[in-house]
Amino acid sequence: MMKKAVNYNQPGAQERGVEMLATAVARLVGRCSCMSVEMRLRFMARLLDNFVDADSLPEPDRAASFSLEAVMQSAERDPEEAVTRAAQLLTRSLTKEQGLNRDGLYRFYDALFERLIPREMNPRFAAA
């Protein structure tokens, strides 16, 4: 019996993948006790900066996997550095490991923003 080939490039597959990635990252951020609303906004700002210049990000000193909790705890005295490093690692993961192009990065950003920023601070819901 022959198996039918599975086509993973179905319409909407990439969009669903971006949504799943954003949900997973939002859960990581939600579990990190140090990510207050202010730190979330800073993280999102750094992430957007990195998306603009994703090709010029410095390479990590060693092979580093994205662990928000580990990054934030390792730089407790310097939260700005922690947020910057976490955004760099996430951007690198999204572009290199997940293969997101520029459009995919911005779709990811929008999806993550909706999950991380409270409704009262989110401009999409300001008029509602």
pLDDT at residue 48, rounded to an integer: 92
Length of the chain: 128
H/E stretch holding 116: helix 102-116
User: Does position 100 have pLDDT exceeding 80, yes or no?
Assistant: yes
Please name the residues in contact with 82: beta carbons below 8 A apart, sequence gap of 6 or more: 34, 71, 72, 74, 75, 76
pLDDT at residue 6, rounded to an integer: 45
Looking at residue 57, the DSSP 8-state letter turns out to be: P
pLDDT tens for each residue of 42-91:
999 999 998 887 766 666 555 455 566 677 676 667 778 888 888 888 89
